[in-house]
């Protein structure tokens, strides 16, 4: 134990906060780290790269992972610099096979190398159908397309991903969340929103009809406000999926970039979890739009961390990340973004929650304000450094040098 941590521990104890308990709780939080930061959301289909659907990665920093082997090596490097044990969130387009199945032909065997790798590392996997970057998604309509043939193609894709996710969960002994996001929407103002939403609902029902064991896989549905090319209307809006998740018992995925820019996503957690058993987060940083910047330790993330802790939601929330920046080292992006999520949780765990909630209960808003503001000067950094040391990962300048060294080693990838 360093002198800095010892002194910090006493400062927190004076506030009646147990820093050892905070460290222990943080170590239990597994974050689902998205694979797609490593290769700019391109995927490994032999049919070609898969961006589209209103999402895009910008930048051409050297070092993009070009194949599953490189992505795994990069991810392992990132994991080695993130304290704790985490998960990888895989998209269906990241299959690892010499075969070239179309989206409605994918099988579990195409993902076995990922499962073997995850088992070796002792990490869990999550999964996602890929409803974008494909000729049959060219109209920005998939499950809600008016053409039944196109809907059936995507229903089959989704069914297969649920089956694959269940097999992954079974193989690893840890339920895989299978998160459904479709890009469906309209560039200009539609006159029949109802028909599109009714088609989406029916297609989701058909796709999710085969029962799956909740110990192996869990369905999640992700809403969105708008995307490039679908500015006027998104079929799978927040209200659509909130209702759907409540009625069907799926997880609801809240992506922090999928709302109006001034909305406080943390505020939504207590509201939706009163009606849902579990939720999924896509922690992201929208900058004026759903830009998916690397998450900072900013007010939005701190608020999210605080809400998860203060509302006792860590047990019913799967924390997933969703950002992609190709203008910087992709491995550094993973490391910095994930650590910021953890730092936000740690800060929340180190706040004098009981005293704050008591002050609020007795309407003493002066005491509440005084505490939140004085608490901003508490020595969180010393506790974070201690956590990193105990988890055997670097921090500060050593971390920066490590990230630099790795980036140099991948910079000559073509």
Active site residues: 181, 222, 224, 255, 258, 282, 290, 292, 322
* Residue among 127 and 384 whose Cβ is closer to ligand RNT: 127
Nearest to 296 by CA among 286, 306, 288: 286
> Is residue 301 a contact residue for ligand RNT (CB under 6 A)?
no
* Residue among 17 and 294 whose Cβ is closer to ligand RNT: 294
**How far, in Å, CA of 260 to CA of 280, rounded?**
19
Residues found in the chain: 414
- Determine which residue in the list 163, 184, 255, 307 makes contact with Zn ion, applying CB under 5 A: 255
> Is residue 181 a contact residue for ligand RNT (CB under 6 A)?
yes
* Residue among 91 and 285 whose Cβ is closer to ligand RNT: 91
Strands 279-283, 317-321: pairing kind: parallel
* Residue among 94 and 406 whose Cβ is closer to ligand RNT: 94
Closest-CB residue for ligand RNT?
181
- In 122-233, which residue ranges form alpha helices assigned H by DSSP? 148-172, 193-207
Q: Closest approach of Cβ 220 to ligand RNT, in Å?
A: 10
Separation in Å, CA 28 to CA 24, 25, 85, 95, 121: 7, 5, 8, 29, 17
* Residue among 38 and 379 whose Cβ is closer to ligand RNT: 38
Per-residue x/- mask for ligand RNT, residues 257 to 286, rule CB under 6 A? -------------------------x----
Return the range that interacts with Zn ion (CB under 5 A); candidates 48-56, 318-326, 371-379, 406-414: 318-326
Residue 386 binds which entry of Zn ion, ligand RNT, none, CB below 5-8 Å type-dependent: none
CB 200 within 8 A of CB 145: no
> Is residue 86 a contact residue for Zn ion (CB under 5 A)?
no
**How far, in Å, CA of 195 to CA of 191, rounded?**
9
- Interface with ligand RNT (CB under 6 A), residue total 12
* Residue among 54 and 84 whose Cβ is closer to Zn ion: 54
Return the range that interacts with Zn ion (CB under 5 A); candidates 40-48, 120-128, 255-263, 388-396: 255-263
Site for ligand RNT in 121-160 (CB under 6 A): 128
Separation in Å, CA 221 to CA 56, 117, 208, 249, 304: 20, 27, 11, 10, 20
For residue 70 the two structure tokens come to 């490189």
CA atoms within 13 A on the CB side of 140: 21
- Determine which residue in the list 86, 282, 330, 368 makes contact with Zn ion, applying CB under 5 A: 282
> Is residue 222 a contact residue for ligand RNT (CB under 6 A)?
yes
* Angle formed at CA 36 by CA 35 and CA 42, multiple of 5 degrees: 130
**Phi/psi-derived region of residue 363, left when phi > 0, alpha when psi is between -120 and 50, beta in every other case:** left
> Is residue 165 a contact residue for ligand RNT (CB under 6 A)?
no
- What are the respective helix, strand and coil percentages of the chain, to the nearest 5? 50, 10, 40
Residue 199 binds which entry of Zn ion, ligand RNT, none, CB below 5-8 Å type-dependent: none
Residues 6 or more apart whose CB falls under 8 angstroms from that of 25 comprise 314, 349
* Residue among 40 and 307 whose Cβ is closer to ligand RNT: 40
Find the helix or strand (DSSP H, E) in which 301 lies.
helix 299-310
Residue 81 binds which entry of Zn ion, ligand RNT, none, CB below 5-8 Å type-dependent: none
DSSP class of residue 260 equals -
Find the helix or strand (DSSP H, E) in which 255 lies.
strand 251-255
CB 158 within 8 A of CB 105: no
> Is residue 318 a contact residue for Zn ion (CB under 5 A)?
no
Q: Closest approach of Cβ 54 to ligand RNT, in Å?
A: 7
> Is residue 321 a contact residue for ligand RNT (CB under 6 A)?
no
> Is residue 322 a contact residue for ligand RNT (CB under 6 A)?
yes
Number of C-beta neighbours around residue 153 at 10 A: 20
> Is residue 39 a contact residue for Zn ion (CB under 5 A)?
no
For residue 14 the two structure tokens come to 């004076």
* Residue among 5 and 259 whose Cβ is closer to ligand RNT: 259
**How far, in Å, CA of 78 to CA of 378, rounded?**
28
User: The tokens 């300048």 sit on which residue?
Assistant: 397
Q: Closest approach of Cβ 179 to Zn ion, in Å?
A: 8
Site for ligand RNT in 40-79 (CB under 6 A): 41, 55
| Cα torsion angle, 251, 256, 257, 260, sign | positive
- Residues forming contacts to ligand RNT in the complex (CB under 6 A) are 36, 41, 55, 91, 128, 181, 222, 224, 255, 282, 290, 322
- Residues forming contacts to Zn ion in the complex (CB under 5 A) are 255, 282, 322
């Amino acid at each position: 134990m360093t002198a800095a941590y010892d002194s910090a521990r006493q400062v927190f104890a004076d506030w009646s906060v147990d820093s050892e308990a905070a460290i222990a709780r943080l170590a239990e939080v597994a974050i689902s780290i998205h694979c797609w930061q490593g290769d700019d959301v391109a995927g490994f289909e032999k049919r070609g790269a898969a961006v589209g659907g209103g999402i895009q990665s910008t930048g051409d920093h050297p070092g993009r992972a070009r194949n599953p082997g490189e992505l795994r090596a990069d991810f392992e490097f990132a994991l080695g610099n993130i304290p704790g044990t985490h998960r990888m969130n895989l998209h269906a387009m990241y299959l690892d096979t010499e075969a070239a199945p179309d989206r409605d032909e994918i099988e579990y065997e195409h993902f076995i190398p990922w499962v073997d790798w995850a088992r070796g590392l002792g990490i869990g996997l999550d999964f996602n159908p890929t409803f974008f970057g494909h000729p049959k998604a060219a109209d920005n309509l998939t499950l809600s397309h008016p053409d039944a043939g196109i809907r059936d193609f995507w229903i089959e894709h989704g069914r297969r991903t649920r089956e694959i996710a269940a097999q992954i969960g079974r193989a690893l002994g840890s339920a895989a969340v299978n998160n459904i996001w479709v890009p469906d929407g309209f560039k200009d103002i539609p006159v029949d929103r109802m028909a599109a939403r009714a088609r989406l609902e029916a297609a989701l029902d058909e796709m999710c009809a085969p029962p799956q064991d909740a110990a192996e896989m869990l369905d999640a549905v992700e809403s969105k406000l708008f995307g490039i090319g679908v500015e006027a209307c998104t079929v799978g809006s927040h209200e659509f999926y909130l209702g759907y998740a409540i009625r069907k018992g799926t997880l609801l995925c809240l992506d922090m970039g999928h709302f109006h820019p001034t909305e406080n996503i943390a505020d939504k957690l207590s509201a939706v979890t009163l009606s849902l058993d579990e939720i999924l987060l896509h922690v992201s940083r929208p900058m004026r739009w759903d830009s998916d910047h690397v998450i900072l330790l900013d007010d939005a993330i701190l608020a999210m961390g605080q809400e998860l802790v203060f509302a006792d939601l860590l047990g019913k929330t799967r924390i997933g990340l969703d950002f992609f920046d190709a203008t910087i080292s992709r491995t550094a992006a993973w490391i910095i973004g994930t650590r910021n999520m953890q730092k936000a949780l740690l800060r929340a765990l180190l706040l004098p929650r009981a005293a704050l909630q008591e002050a609020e209960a007795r309407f003493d808003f002066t005491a509440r304000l005084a505490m939140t503001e004085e608490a901003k000067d508490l020595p969180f950094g010393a506790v974070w450094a201690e956590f990193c040391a105990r988890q055997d990962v670097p921090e500060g300048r050593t971390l920066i040098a490590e990230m630099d060294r790795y980036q140099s080693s991948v910079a000559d990838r073509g």
